[in-house]
Amino acid sequence: MTAAVGRAQPSALTVPQVRAALPGALRKLDPRHLWHNPVMFVVWVGAVACTIATVVQPGSLSVAVACWLWLTVLFGNLAESVAEGRGKAQADTLRKARTETEARLLTSAGTTVVVPSSHLLPGDRVVVAAGQIIPGDGDVIEGVASVDESAITGESAPVIREAGGDRSAVTGGTTVLSDQITVKITAAPGESFLDKMIALVEGSSRRKTPNEVALSILLSSLTIIFLLAVATLAPMAAYAGERLSMVVLIALLVCLIPTTIGALLSAIGIAGMDRLVRANVIALSGRAVEAAGDIATLLLDKTGTITLGNRRATEFLPAPGVTAAELRDAARLASLADLTPEGRSIVALAHERGAADDTEPPGSVAVEFTAQTRMSGVDLADSHQLRKGAGSAVAAWSESDGAGPMTETITSIARSGGTPLVVAERRGGVGRLLGVIQLEDVVKPGIAERFGQLRAMGIKTVMITGDNPATAEAIATAAGVDDFLAEATPEDKLRLIRAEQSGGRMVAMTGDGTNDAPALAAADVGVAMNTGTSAAKEAGNMVDLDSDPTKLIDVVQIGKQLLITRGALTTFSVANDIAKYFAILPALFVATYPGLAALDIMRLHSPESAILSAVIFNALIIVALIPLAMRGVRYRPASASALLRRNLVIYGLGGIIAPFLGIKLIDLVLVGVGSLIPALAL
């Protein structure tokens, strides 16, 4: 179990939790709220009917049953209210970060005017200096700055945000610590990422997921079946000369319908999203959390996910006939406009090897890297062009004879797990290979073990990289992934996702760049990095506030934990109902049908005591299971068949045994209380 999933959760309900959740639970007694939960609505109707019957014909049994039915509804509401309470606490913290600030709006004339942040619209440009709060969500279009995002992520360490690349997105409410940046606003007032987070974590925008809807339909069907079954008991008893009161029939119905899972179903879903929030992941829909539990294929970027990232240039390897200084200077010129860590490391290495300053030659035009061209560089004023990038792309651009004499060097770098960047030039339409830049990266420690856990769960891992196939194979082997996609373009990612989905497999992937947006949107679970572009965050259905690509593994485990918890408690609830059926009915009808004595194994004190004991147990078991619904059933990587066996043994068998023990214990307590206080005797 990873740290994020295994993070400590409260093991029991605390008094402060109950005190804070109780007002919300009382408000949820409104039938307009309960109508959305058919099982608990039936219990509410039963409680109302018993209350009326108690007023019309008072009796100790009817008073006790009515009180415990109201408590059953209240306890069900309490489970949902406790789950929502955690989200509301997080929302209150986020609201403190959402303050009205002044923004320095940049006009078309190049001047700035001060306006309230609530007046900003998408497309507006604002200037934010050190010590100022970023007034709205947007992308940095000019400058680089250190930003404090602790109000959003909880992480005290500042992060770097800069124009260009995949770390340009900023969030309103965060603070610039150093330097100055120009931000292009991308969100309208009330639609910022912070606003969406608040709505999601407090549950105001949560909708039932497809699995929840399907389970609700099943529970409603079971309720109707038991309603018909209980309705037939009255004429059967009358035929045998015994009369069953309405209070007894209602108590029987409530005990036999799946009230346990009906009361906890909503809380399980809310708690699952809360566990993601605690892991600093915001799920933009409950469907995404469920889908994470069914993921069969994980697509992971190599850099920053499988490897430590920030590859650095370590060597210049010139081609035959090219001097080391010539390759060094060409690599420096081709990288001056490259703001990626790799590009900066190339310039830094060139300086270490004696290159000139960072001044760009007059008239030069930078050529940015794209996923389609897979290279970048510069066009100089004298028709001299320089490019660096993937070997096949640079060779095709320079129209040279491929890597030629550098093939062995490129292969050696790739097989060692490094990344070769080929440098070439073109003068007067004639291309020439200049050499290779060696970039090095390191596989993250422990990543192979995590992939082994995923493999045990039946999940296929695919590494996606822009590296050549030899480098990709070396890294994939070292990391222990199942497959890899080398020299990947956005179109390649889409094709891979659709191919996996066409085979009936659900796919998850991470991304942070604009070029990742199509794949994030196509994946069943798309986790966008908070440091990424606005396009990536809009395309994904989850946002990782820590911008840790390996968090996808934790997301899958949290999703599986949610599904397992729901399945376990459903199994327990259904088993509970079956056990209560065989525990109560023999006690009720043993006098009328003596043959039932063989099934009356608990030998309860009286039919009235059996009814009340079952009603009390039915209410208390909901309270007992609230901590489990909040915390989730502990998840261990295993096959589906092994998980099913574990659930059936623990929660199926446990659900059958618990009512017999609990109802018998409550019956003994009721008999003891009745002997001490005769007025309370049944």
> Is 376 part of any known ligand binding site?
yes
Residue 342 CA neighbour count, 13 Å, CB half: 22
| Structural tokens at position 380 | 């100089």
Residue among 50, 164, 154 at smallest CA distance from 97? 154
- Name residue 463's beta-bridge partners: 300, 484
| Structural tokens at position 515 | 């070029």
Contacts (Cβ under 8 Å, ≥6 apart) of 170: 134, 137, 138, 139, 140, 147, 161, 181, 183
424 within 8 A of 433, measured Cβ to Cβ:
yes
> Is 450 part of any known ligand binding site?
no
Residues 163, 167, 171: CA angle, nearest 5 degrees: 95
What three-state secondary structure class fits 534? helix
Residue 12's Cβ-count burial label (10 Å; 0-12, 13-18, 19+) is exposed
Residue 180's Cβ-count burial label (10 Å; 0-12, 13-18, 19+) is middle
543 within 8 A of 280, measured Cβ to Cβ:
no
**Cα separation, 415 vs 1, whole angstroms:** 33
Catalytic residue selected from 148, 195, 301, 577? 301
- Please say if 667 is a catalytic residue: no
Residue among 550, 36, 577, 504 at smallest CA distance from 269? 36
The secondary structure of 427-458 as a DSSP string is ETTEEEEEEEEEEE--BPTTHHHHHHHHHHTT
Question: What number of other Cβ atoms are within 10 A of residue 619's Cβ?
Answer: 24
> Is 516 part of any known ligand binding site?
yes
**Cα separation, 590 vs 573, whole angstroms:** 26
**Cα separation, 281 vs 228, whole angstroms:** 45
> Is 455 part of any known ligand binding site?
no
Beta strands in 259-374 (DSSP E): 281-283, 297-301, 312-318, 365-367
**Cα separation, 630 vs 275, whole angstroms:** 9
Pairing between strand 175-178 and 144-148?
antiparallel
What three-state secondary structure class fits 175? strand
- Residue 323: phi and psi, rounded to 5, are -80, 160
**Cα separation, 121 vs 603, whole angstroms:** 73
> Is 305 part of any known ligand binding site?
no
Q: Which helix (H) or strand (E) holds 476?
A: helix 469-479
> Is 371 part of any known ligand binding site?
yes
650 DSSP 8-state letter: I
> Is 512 part of any known ligand binding site?
yes
> Is 544 part of any known ligand binding site?
no
| Structural tokens at position 467 | 């590296």
340 within 8 A of 165, measured Cβ to Cβ:
yes
CA distances from 238 to 233, 444, 452 (A): 8, 74, 64
> Is 388 part of any known ligand binding site?
yes
**CA-CA-CA-CA dihedral for 389, 391, 394, 395, to nearest 10:** 170
> Is 499 part of any known ligand binding site?
no
Annotated binding site for Mg(2+): 512, 516
Active site residues: 301
Annotated binding site for ATP: 338, 342, 369-376, 388
Annotated binding site: 338, 342, 369-376, 388, 512, 516
